[in-house]
Chain A
């Protein structure tokens, strides 16, 4: 059974026009449609990757799932409960069930908190356990991310390396024993030589501690190594979703094809095909109806501008793409 379900979730932000522009120049307020009609579900013990360029809505989606941002419309259902309708008590419970690992380990740790206090902060804030138990659990957690209590407990974030900081970030999320973890590009700020270690750590802990994970990244090569399923987003719309390597090796949507062809390969002998794509990415401000990729799509026709079809099955029942011309292409 799915632990989390998103049903037609959208999030719009209003850009208010200035007083003069509105009153005298007749400029109406505009809308950023950051996320539009996204459906997807996360199964127990599954890692789903969300990929896309900046402005594709992946971070907004995460914020909504984490309960930090309410959706403008649609339903987010966790364990049969709609999180946007939760009361204070339920929300507290939900916050202990869902944890986030942030992108920037330099920014996501409070510079005035020592490592021990950073990790212990979640259980202390929610008063999950008595203080002595919090101390024990914090110690265990630090150990399982490879940081010894003696050496690290009293350090401040500026006394740690990037990799150590990200380990602290992971520990402070997992000490809450979450059932679902949202990881927002946790490796993008780290050096290549230590990324694999953090990736392995996350994989191992997911197995040991049985949590589901939503892993957001712009880096498809990394997603290939951690995600079971992959969702590709473009300007707020979900374009394709399916088992990770099916999507990577057999992309169906024209955008996914372009994106995958654009990823550089660490081998000088490989020559990639030129991605088929036109123009530059825009921002989802008052977007025209229909598919948001149509203006850049080499295969766009008239129907693409009329309406956006949400994800539909390809030849494989688990692999879905949102394109009118799926069968012809």
Chain B
């Protein structure tokens, strides 16, 4: 009987994934975005195997000459740095760092933002007051001085960069999700759930959450995009992790080398990647924007 198989978690998850796949692929732009994100993810996961050279190894060309500041060629597809490092290998490994920072800080910030927004919006009153004033205080915190203090206290470590990004980013998603929660909680089906005897926890996570989900995914994509940009800015200013390399870090190295005017290829590759990834994320989020706000839908 069909009824018996219901409630099977695997079936439900599969159905959910199918639905979201359909949402994204129904729009040409967001489908393209998804494709690029998948490519970046594959590159990030298999980076050590894809990269042809060690990114910190001085390269010599086939004639045995030191390959300093070479423009793109067959041997060095994206050219080399003034120290002869292979930029293609650097870019591939940097993809890994950038995606890691982006997804971890984007993910954590949406997790915090969503929960604070849901709880604040649902309960209202004193809880809302306290949480929202806390959010307001964070709004008053400028990013750069904050990260400079944090880095100078604890050193240039990946964890602190993520922490700094998360602390700055979650506030907007909390605000937006709180507003959406307030409007949903006034709808009659929430009163109906209460009348059926649902607990607050169940109402928040089973009844309200699925209704804010499109908005939540929209902001998740935004948060990841912002994390990528923020990380790039921080790295470019020299507050990145000294041990690994990221797209922003590559631009920082270029700046340090003083070859900005000469090595256009050094500048081009990481910049294009940043723009491409952020644009892809924004495109994917647009599909959810249409779901979250049906008025944008084409008739």
Check B194 for interface membership: any CB of A closer than 8 A: yes
Q: Is A6 located at the chain interface by the 8 A CB criterion?
A: no
Give, as a whole number of angstroms, the nearest-CB distance from B165 to chain A. 31
Residues of B within 8 A of A169 (CB): 192
Q: Which of B196, B202, B207, B210 has the most CB of A within 10 A?
A: B196
In the complex, whether B22 has a CB less than 8 A from a CB of chain A is no
Query: Is A176 in contact with B196, judged by CB distance below 8 angstroms?
Result: yes
A111's nearest neighbour on chain B, judged by CB, is B211
Contact check: which of B2, B189, B195 meets A110 at CB < 8 Å?
Answer: B189
In the docked arrangement, what's the CA distance between A107 and B190, Å? 9
Judging by beta carbons under 8 Å apart, are A132 and B199 in contact?
no
- Residue A212 CB within 8 A of the other chain: no
A153 CB within 8 Å of chain B = yes
Proximity bits, A66-94, B CB within 8 Å = 1, else 0: 10100000000000000000000000100
Contact of B197 among A107, A109, A110, A122 (CB under 8 A): A122
Partner of A131, one of B7, B194, B196, B198: B7
Complex alpha-carbon distance, A112 and B196, angstroms: 17
Contact A135 to B211, CB < 8 A, known contacts A66-B195, A110-B189, A176-B196: no
Complex: A96 Cα to B211 Cα, angstroms: 25
B6 touching A125, Cβ below 8 Å: no
Judged by a CB distance under 8 angstroms, whether A246 is at the interface is: no
* B202 and A125 form a contact (CB under 8 A): yes
- Give the chain A neighbours of B192 by CB distance below 8 A: 100, 102, 108-110, 169, 172
In the complex the two chains form, what is the Cα distance from A131 to B7 in whole Å? 8
Q: Are A96 and B194 in contact (CB under 8 A)?
A: no
Q: B188, B194, B207: which contacts A107 (Cβ < 8 A)? A: B188
- Complex Cα distance, B197 from A68, in Å, reads 10
Report the minimum CB–CB distance from B287 to chain A (whole Å): 17
Chain B neighbourhood of A149, CB < 8 A = 2-3
What count of chain B residues pass the 8 Å CB interface test? 23
B3 touches A112 (CB 8 A): no
Q: With A and B bound together, what is the CA distance between A251 and B194 in angstroms?
A: 37
B210 CB contacts on chain A under 8 angstroms? 110, 112-113
- A91-136 contacts to B, CB under 8 A, are 92, 95-96, 98-100, 102-104, 107-113, 116, 121-122, 125-126, 131-132, 135-136
Residue interface bits B174-210, CB-to-A below 8 A is 1, else 0: 0000000000000111011111111100100001001
List residues of chain A with CB within 8 A of the CB of B213: 112
Question: Are B187 and A107 interface neighbours, CB within 8 A?
Answer: yes
Grouping DSSP codes into helix (H, G, I), strand (E, B) and loop, the B interface class, with mixed when no group exceeds half, is helix
A266 and B246 CA atoms in complex are apart in Å by 77
Residue ID in chain A nearest B3 by CB atoms: A135
**B4 with A108: CB separation less than 8 A:** no
Report the minimum CB–CB distance from A150 to chain B (whole Å): 7
**Contact of A122 with B196 at beta-carbon distance under 8 Å, contacts A136-B3, A149-B2 already known:** yes
Q: Are B3 and A172 within 8 A (Cβ)?
A: no
CB atoms of B188 and A102 under 8 A apart: yes
> When chains A and B are docked, how far (Å) is the Cα of A200 from the Cα of B193?
25
Q: How far is the CA of A110 from the CA of B203 in the complex (A)?
A: 11
Chain B CB within 8 A of A36 CB: no
Complex interface: chain A residues within 8 A of B6 (CB): 116, 135, 153
Kindly identify which residue among B4, B191, B197 contacts A102, using a CB–CB cutoff of 8 Å: B191
Residue of A nearest to B191 (CB): A68
Shortest distance from the beta carbon of B215 to any chain A beta carbon, whole Å? 13
| Interface residue A61 (Cβ < 8 Å from any Cβ of B) | no
Interface contact A132-B195, CB-CB below 8 Å: no
Residues of B within 8 A of A68 (CB): 191, 194-195
Give 10 nearest A-B pairs by CB, closest first: A122-B196, A95-B197, A112-B210, A107-B188, A135-B3, A125-B198, A110-B189, A108-B188, A126-B197, A100-B195
Would you list 29 pairs from A and B whose C-beta atoms are within 8 A, ordered by A residue? A66-B195, A68-B194, A95-B196, A95-B197, A96-B197, A98-B195, A99-B195, A100-B192, A107-B188, A107-B189, A109-B192, A110-B189, A110-B193, A110-B210, A111-B189, A113-B207, A116-B3, A125-B196, A125-B197, A125-B199, A125-B202, A126-B197, A135-B3, A138-B3, A139-B1, A149-B2, A153-B3, A173-B196, A176-B196
Which B residues form the contact surface with A (CB < 8 A)? 1-4, 6-7, 187-189, 191-199, 202, 207, 210-211, 213
Which residues of A does B touch, CB under 8 Å? 66, 68, 92, 95-96, 98-100, 102-104, 107-113, 116, 121-122, 125-126, 131-132, 135-136, 138-139, 149-150, 153, 169, 172-173, 176
Task: Kindly list 18 other residue pairs between chains A and B, CB separation below 8 angstroms, not including A68-B194, A135-B3.
Answer: A68-B191, A92-B197, A95-B195, A95-B196, A100-B191, A100-B192, A100-B195, A102-B188, A108-B189, A110-B207, A111-B211, A112-B210, A113-B207, A113-B210, A135-B6, A149-B2, A149-B3, A172-B196
